[in-house]
Amino acid sequence: MAIDLQHEPETLSLIAHTTDFVRDYVLPIEDEFAGDIEAAGGDARRVEMNQAARAAGVFAPHAPTEFGGHELNMCERAPVFEAGGYSLFGPAALHIAAPDEGNIHMLGEIADERQRELFLGPLARGDVRSAFAMTEPAPGAGADPAALTTRADQVPGGWQINGHKWFITGADGAAFFIIMARTEGQPGDRGGATMFLAPAESPGLRVGRHITTLDRSMIGGHCEVFFEDLFVPDENVLGEVGQGYAGAQVRLGPARMTHVMRWLGAARRGHDIAVAHSAKRKAFGSRLGDLGMVQKMIADNEIDIAATRALLMRACWELDNGGVADDSTSIAKTYAAEAVGRIVDNSIQICGGLGVSEDLPLARLSREVRPFRVYDGPSEVHRWAIAKRAVRRARNAAGETR
């Protein structure tokens, strides 16, 4: 059966409306504040932009319809999220920014009815923000989740959590946290983790310092978070006890792909600016766009955009059809993280001095996309996992069992 790459009319309409909304409403705000969401007003600005997105009919394209979203599948999200990501403030405006977008997806899949009402509903409607607390300082969990050191010990009526997390996106101002903690085994053991839901005002939960990073567009920063005898009742266990890693997989692959969607939009904006500049700027007796070296950079960008979209759609198709999509999401994430960097870098080069100035948004785009090669798994770790699976398949094909 043929694979249909054409979207439904409703999706095409949402893409068009999102494109218009981002161009006419969101980009001017981003440009006014040079891509710094806190300078723009932080949460107060987010609420204002969310209201505008609702009015425009483009709010929460991924969220369940029962909470006011459009409930798009992964393939449908791709072009809509790319259109949203064209502005660095677009994800916050449309309520598709990390970590809330990934948390909405995961809660929609595995939260029970009580948790849906108390946590998913307010989050999906944009009434609150959330955080996903996984990453820890060395020697704790980072690119290697099995190194998890934060512990949850069973006590009467629930669990007591102790640990130290950092680089927790959106922690400052989050209404609740999804916490990954070890409930059995030792750091380095596979498995043995559980996810917990904890309101931010819970005694024993403390948000520490903001860790200054290159990017400036994510509300709530990237913070240290401390758990000191934090009590979580049994009803706030998310998923099954001891199955935290399995539950997180529901979030992990899709969240990597939505990162690709958003940052591809940002890279495409940089490319559009550079192409427009090359079409009018004259040097050495001709337009820049007529010079071979500039044409090569433009062509390379076009290739990277097309290849990223193709790899992304393959991974989204697998996810929509119930696949784990380990390989396809790792391949798409790794390629995209490096491709968007190349696209923005080429765009800066084409624009010369303007490219590294604040007169154009290219410098801030470069600052924002660079962390993608680290966030959601460094490129090196994804390459290791891709190769490991390929070797395993070869050994299985050869009949080896060990």
Give the model confidence (pLDDT) of 13-36 as tens digits: 999 999 999 999 999 999 999 999
Q: What is the pTM of this model?
A: 0.95
Q: How far is CA 286 from the centre of its chain?
A: 41
- Establish whether the linkage from the previous residue to 99 is cis, with ω within 30° of 0: yes
User: Is residue 168 helix, strand or coil?
Assistant: strand
Can you tell me the distance from the alpha carbon of 5 to that of 319, in angstroms, rounded to the nearest whole number?
Answer: 16
Q: How far is CA 322 from the centre of its chain?
A: 20
- Tokens 């809330």: give the residue: 100
DSSP per residue, 102-152: HHHHHHHHH--HHHIIIIIHHHHTTSS-EEEE---STTSSSS-GGG---EE
Set out the domains of the chain in order of their start, with CATH numbers.
Answer: 9-97 (1.10.540.10), 130-238 (2.40.110.10), 246-397 (1.20.140.10)
Shortest CA distance to 231 belongs to which of 114, 149, 152? 152
Can you tell me the distance from the alpha carbon of 287 to that of 294, in angstroms, rounded to the nearest whole number?
Answer: 10
The confidence score (pLDDT) of residue 349 equals 98
DSSP per residue, 236-295: GEES-TT-HHHHHHHHHHHHHHHHHHHHHHHHHHHHHHHHHHHHH-EETTEEGGGSHHHH
User: Is residue 195 helix, strand or coil?
Assistant: strand
Can you tell me the distance from the alpha carbon of 215 to that of 194, in angstroms, rounded to the nearest whole number?
Answer: 30
Q: HSE, CB side, 13 Å, CA atoms: give it for residue 221.
A: 15
Give the model confidence (pLDDT) of 342-388 as tens digits: 999 999 999 999 999 999 999 999 999 999 999 999 999 999 999 99
Can you tell me the distance from the alpha carbon of 202 to that of 131, in angstroms, rounded to the nearest whole number?
Answer: 14
What DSSP element (H or E) covers 299?
Answer: helix 292-320
pLDDT by residue for the chain (402 residues), tens only, comes to 457 788 999 999 999 999 999 999 999 999 999 999 999 999 999 999 999 999 999 999 999 999 999 999 999 999 999 999 999 999 999 999 999 999 999 999 999 999 999 999 999 999 999 999 999 999 999 999 999 999 999 999 999 999 999 999 999 999 999 999 999 999 999 899 999 999 999 999 999 999 999 999 999 999 999 999 999 999 999 999 999 999 999 999 999 999 999 999 999 999 999 999 999 999 889 999 999 999 999 999 999 999 999 999 999 999 999 998 999 999 999 999 999 999 999 999 999 999 999 999 999 999 999 999 999 999 999 999 999 999 999 999 998 766
Can you tell me the distance from the alpha carbon of 62 to that of 11, in angstroms, rounded to the nearest whole number?
Answer: 12
